[in-house]
Amino acid sequence: MIVLAGIGVTGCQERTSMQVPSRDGDAFVTDRVVDVYFYMKPELWKNLQSRAEKEQYYQIDFWFDSELVPDVAVRAKGSSSLKYVIEDGSIRLSLKVDFNLLNDARQFRGLKKLNFHNGFRDPTLIRESLAYELFREMGVTAPRTSFVNLWVNDTHMGLYTQVDHVDRTFLTQHFGRADGNLYKPIPPGSYLNWDEEALEKQRSEMATGSPTVSPDAYEVNLGGGDLSQIEQALGTEQQYDATEIEDEPEKHQYEYLDYMKLKTNENRPNHSALMRFLDVLNNEPDETFPEEIEKVLDVDEALRFLAVQTILVNLDSYLGRGLNYYLYEINGRFVIIPWDLNESFGTYKCNIPREEIINFFIDEPTCGPVVERPLVYRLLSYQPYLDAYHGYLEELLAGPFSVETMESRIDEIADMIRPYVEADELKFYPTEDFEYNLSERQGRYFGLKSFVAERGESVRMQLDGELPSSGDGSGNGGDPDKA
């Protein structure tokens, strides 16, 4: 086992003597809020807070519902949410736990990683969980969630959303295999409006011909984690910061493939399946498009994915900013996995006015020109796919997104978490906002129940032709880079 420098055998004090046997069970307990404790040396907790932007791992002992998993690793996580917390001077960080990093035999209830999200931009603290539920109920492969009452040492962090990690374990559980390429794209590669010819042209125009440092350069597996992460955990010099490509891309020369952020098979990358998918998506003639796209994409699941994103007006996604999804390839055919849904239910607005968010076009569901999002443009331009997509919107309205179903589910979750929300002194919004925003608009945030009612009515009217469902090709206007 690799031990972090300067930490000793364990970061835990009084709890280490109590060795609770590992138990079988689901890591996601959905009928109650589970107590979770991270125990680490106080100085390490201070370091994690003061250096959160480095996303460096620190050793902890992990307690889940009185079950101990010793000697695992934790780090701060997030992009805009992490920046916000740091700038605000808060310690309510989103956190990632890696059970496997320091010991490749370590796991927790079949998982190697877990995410703990802090409720950024959500007074209700349940948007993310509700959105993932909708995806799963519509047959889209999506992470599981549950709610936990989180502590770090004696600091009560409050109510967090525990979220599945999309990794090889996740892929094996859902697809039975994890040997395909998993991508987590970011702009501009994530728009998918490029192909191999564009990539080669880009390379020829680069002064150096390739990035100064490739984001994959230090992703060499060693022990339970990759080399760059273990170097971080051990406090050794980092030559590449994994967040750098997102935060300061202008400092280096990156090509489209770098922005696709390959997460599996990093040591033997083969992007031929991706190149084939992009070629079909962007270049295949309309006449042969349906036949060819179904060879390289699970079209049915993609239409379900788009239907849920559209009804939620989730613009912190491919529809708007062009990110927050995974692409996974199985035998040359891709599936799409949603990610990071805390700003769904119309929270991220792309600078689009409120009324236009409610009436967001279902047949042109993009922030900006629809042609710039070929996954939307090409699929919804083919009438049988458009009809199937409309069918999934109808299914949502009649079932999981109906007013009756959603109000009942919102009340059920709110009743479960309410005592923990009231006891949470670090949450970003007061308890009054939690209560009010469950139903009514609170500042920039749509009320959950009112959004479901208004958005559902708008989608119904668009399907019936009583409201326009598309415009002139410019999408819904707005600016993907403005919330």
83-107, pLDDT tens digit by residue? 989 999 999 999 999 999 999 999 9
Say whether pLDDT at 429 is over 80.
yes
DSSP lists the bridge partners of residue 383 as: none
Say whether pLDDT at 376 is over 50.
yes
**Residue-level pLDDT at 108:** 97
Rounded Cα gap, residues 473 and 478, in angstroms: 13
Confidence of residue 399 (pLDDT cuts 50, 70, 90): very high
**Residue-level pLDDT at 228:** 52
Say whether pLDDT at 283 is over 80.
yes
Say whether pLDDT at 442 is over 80.
yes
Q: Please classify residue 105 by burial: count the beta carbons closer than 10 Å to its beta carbon, then call 0-12 exposed, 13-18 middle and 19+ buried.
A: exposed
Largest Cα–Cα separation, the chain: 69
Phi-psi region of 377 (alpha: psi -120 to 50; beta: other; left: phi over 0): alpha
Rounded Cα gap, residues 92 and 94, in angstroms: 7
Q: CA angle, corner 193, sides to 190 and 198, nearest 5?
A: 105
Q: Please classify residue 93 by burial: count the beta carbons closer than 10 Å to its beta carbon, then call 0-12 exposed, 13-18 middle and 19+ buried.
A: buried
**Residue-level pLDDT at 1:** 29
| Average pLDDT score, the chain | 88
Say whether pLDDT at 248 is over 60.
no
Residue type, 327: L
Say whether pLDDT at 363 is over 80.
yes
Confidence of residue 5 (pLDDT cuts 50, 70, 90): very low
**Residue-level pLDDT at 20:** 37
Confidence of residue 80 (pLDDT cuts 50, 70, 90): confident
Say whether pLDDT at 242 is over 70.
no
What predicted TM-score, i.e. pTM, was given to this entire model? 0.88
Query: At which residue do the structure tokens 């890591």 appear?
Result: 27
Query: In the predicted model, what is the mean pLDDT of residues 427-444?
Result: 96
Return the structure tokens found at 208: 């150096």
| Nearest CA among 453, 456, 410 for reference residue 434 | 410
**Residue-level pLDDT at 482:** 86
| Nearest CA among 318, 166, 208, 189 for reference residue 246 | 189
C-beta of residue 16 within 8 angstroms of C-beta of residue 10:
yes
Confidence of residue 232 (pLDDT cuts 50, 70, 90): low
Q: What are phi and psi of 156, to 5 degrees?
A: -85, 105
Query: In the predicted model, what is the mean pLDDT of residues 260-288?
Result: 97
Q: How many residues does the chain have?
A: 483
Calculate what percentage of the chain has a pLDDT beyond 70.
Answer: 86
